[in-house]
Structure 1
């Protein structure tokens, strides 16, 4: 049967021409369909990246930060309030009250967003439910602490409630929030890996189909030249040119999409996650300073916690609070001499190892410089307290005047935000350019393939007419 079919398709020149025309149209249609489906899938990927994967990861990171900020501001309120208002540090107190309310509202918003994002993922749904329940209890404890703090002579009761609240935060709320960050980021990473793999497969398939289509057009041109003694058939030649341009555009669309996706995820968003994590850790470390001043019974615990978070940000092997500054200066100098020097680790190292964009390295290094100033301020706070100057230590810790620890913390966070903004901007640009690559190249590639099929038919029509 196959032999009979082959004879029918290839026995005569008109049969061969019709067969090659059918193969050309079929391959052009198949390539156009492949590019259309690939374009739709890529557009869907960009929609998921921009409206689901990235936002739910950043929402979880924002929740982590807001929880740390709310607890830090509660500590600052208790530390600056005095005794039922007597001896109050007015500016630090008023600022802390304002930031406390803002953080609480942000947490409520993030929990609602994460609840919607978690739908369908039972593990994340349970985590969000646990966070919501624990946050309600946490708010109640802090509310009771602040209420007790407003009564004369009730500072001890307020501190007891605050201890219970911050233990709940550290034991349940923050681990759950970090788990959501990791879960959502891992889901994003899986989506990215699948999309990149699909784009690679689609690119290979498009090139194979394009090569086959060009080969068939070449055979068709050869058959026409051999039988009709013409070097080139204008219609088939035009179809070949259209096909070649369509294959180039389709390949560019797929490879550009893969490139923009890599920049969005690996170069930009990996840094956004690391920097968001660093910001949350920084707020928690800053809260440890307030807790250290507020709660004499737990000072050793909060000093160890501050050091542990410092190591998470900028890890120096074997460092203590007494040796950390010297280690920080030495490792920074070593890094400036050799950027591959690995004597420090942590979130800052993760960012410095992922420098991609113009201005990013200078901004990241400025962030580390601001961090070094903040770390030196911490030793000043501890030295003032050790000298019995608790009021001066609290003022230096929470003051808003230039040169205070809080002012330097603000400068550090501003520097950190600048690095994050650079990466966010490039993430947004990559998403926009990835969409544009599909929207611009796909219609042209599809139109050219339709034109190739039509030109092939038109080019063959006069030749086939000769056999009627």
Structure 2
């Protein structure tokens, strides 16, 4: 009992003991709030680094790989289609451009594979997928090389077609599914990172508010005790410390809330659209390749026609539509959408983008993309009509030509419009990351400084009162 009474006298029973206890509680809580903000700041800095330097790039690299593989096969088909008979009757402009684009796509594929190999480290499943892709890509190049070599000889077209079929089958059964798996895997990892960061921010915000309220309560108790014990209305030091604490909590709350908002904008408002549009580009290049394959390989025309329609449905889905009804249904559903932006009677990647329109200028750019897509779809019917009329060369020229009002020219307009929508979302993704980092540099030092000032002001405010008991 004596020991308990001694402790009570030391830590609470006397006025100096009470003042020291309140001062210690204030300093401890101020330190806890400062430590919480420091941990939150370091965590956010790491999150922004991972999102901008790791999660987003590896997801877009996987999507770019998908596109580059599709572009390679499209250009390989275009080379064979425009080469004529061992170069005789060659469509020179389409052939030259196809050769150049094939080389560009091959180099892009190699670059993307190297990037993904680095990104896959630590994930056995992704490492295995990238390894399989690399081996398959080497086999694909060998088959295309043989096809091009055979097509350079008189009478070599049947052998070239056989090699191209094997290459295309390899692409469709192994390479593209593996690339799609990487897109989904990396995007899922990004989503997990985002969800974890948001949950952490929510918990930190709750802890900040609890600790901030406790700190303000202790300062209020200190102010009340000083006023009651020393017959003074206010203690300037404690009052200034309370103001500093309140400002620090407000700034910390603003930092965490703004960071959560910037994370949501970066991940969902911007990057969801980037992923949808990246998939749309890859599907578009694959559909364009199906047109060239359709012209090149008479034995598989039914297969490639069905494949083209399936990819069209992935982009702008119309239930039950066939190639003969697709254009009219597209026009009708699009007109309904233009009259009422909530009337979306179609599915697919374009629907995903229009459901996620967020930024200024994005809706207008997305609508231009769909209008350009509709023009390209009508060009496809022209290609098939020319072929059905026995005008094979005219069909190939219209499909692969680069003159105005040809299919390739309209495809380029479509891709430019799609890229514009993607650029808007990429720009806002980058600006959200930059804003998140700027918030750390702007608000965190001020909040930390104010908490330090609160602790110092509390100590200085109590110093004269404690001196009275010496």
Q: TM-score range by the shorter chain?
A: over 0.9
Q: Where do residues 9-28 of structure 1 align in structure 2 (5 Å cutoff)? A: 9-28=11-30
CA 1:402/1:3 → structure 2, altered by over 3 Å: closer, same or farther?
Answer: farther
Quote the residue 1:199 is aligned against. Answer: 201
- CA separation in 2, counterparts of 1:277 and 1:221? 62
Quote the RMSD (CA, aligned, Å). Answer: 1.0
Quote the residue 1:230 is aligned against. Answer: 232
1:102 equivalenced with 2:104 (yes/no): yes
- For residues 118-172 of structure 1, the C-alpha deviation after alignment (integer angstroms, 9 at most, x for no partner) is 0010000000000001111000000000111111110111111000000000000
Q: Where do residues 310-329 of structure 1 align in structure 2 (5 Å cutoff)? A: 310-329=312-331
| TM-score, normalised via structure 1 length | 0.99
The partner residue of 1:456 within 446, 450, 458 is 458
- CA separation in 1, counterparts of 2:57 and 2:64? 10
- Structure 1 residue 350: Cα displacement: 0.2
Quote the residue 1:79 is aligned against. Answer: 81
How many positions carry a matched residue from both structures? Answer: 468
Quote the residue 2:54 is aligned against. Answer: 52
- For residues 336-359 of structure 1, the C-alpha deviation after alignment (integer angstroms, 9 at most, x for no partner) is 122222410000000000000000
- Structure 1 residue 7: Cα displacement: 5.0
Quote the residue 1:120 is aligned against. Answer: 122
Which is worse superposed, 421-430 or 335-344? Answer: 335-344
- Structure 1 residue 6: Cα displacement: 4.9
- For residues 34-68 of structure 1, the C-alpha deviation after alignment (integer angstroms, 9 at most, x for no partner) is 00000000000000001000000000000000000
- CA separation in 1, counterparts of 2:208 and 2:347? 44
CA 1:10/1:297 → structure 2, altered by over 3 Å: closer, same or farther?
Answer: same
Quote the residue 1:335 is aligned against. Answer: 337
* Stretches of structure 1 lacking an aligned partner (at least 5 in a row): none
Quote the residue 2:434 is aligned against. Answer: 432
- Structure 1 residue 10: Cα displacement: 1.9
| TM-score, normalised via structure 2 length | 0.98
- Structure 1 residue 8: Cα displacement: 3.4
> Which ranges of 4 or more aligned residues in structure 1 deviate by more than 4 Å?
1-7
Quote the residue 1:382 is aligned against. Answer: 384
The partner residue of 2:134 within 132, 135, 141 is 132
- For residues 304-344 of structure 1, the C-alpha deviation after alignment (integer angstroms, 9 at most, x for no partner) is 00000000000000000000001100110111122222410
Which is worse superposed, 225-234 or 1-10? Answer: 1-10
- For residues 374-417 of structure 1, the C-alpha deviation after alignment (integer angstroms, 9 at most, x for no partner) is 00000000000000000000000000000000000000000000
Q: Where do residues 119-268 of structure 1 align in structure 2 (5 Å cutoff)? A: 119-268=121-270
CA 1:106/1:17 → structure 2, altered by over 3 Å: closer, same or farther?
Answer: same
- CA separation in 2, counterparts of 1:124 and 1:439? 36
Quote the residue 1:447 is aligned against. Answer: 449
Which is worse superposed, 6-15 or 389-398? Answer: 6-15
The partner residue of 2:422 within 420, 423, 442 is 420
- Structure 1 residue 83: Cα displacement: 0.8
- CA separation in 2, counterparts of 1:289 and 1:84? 22
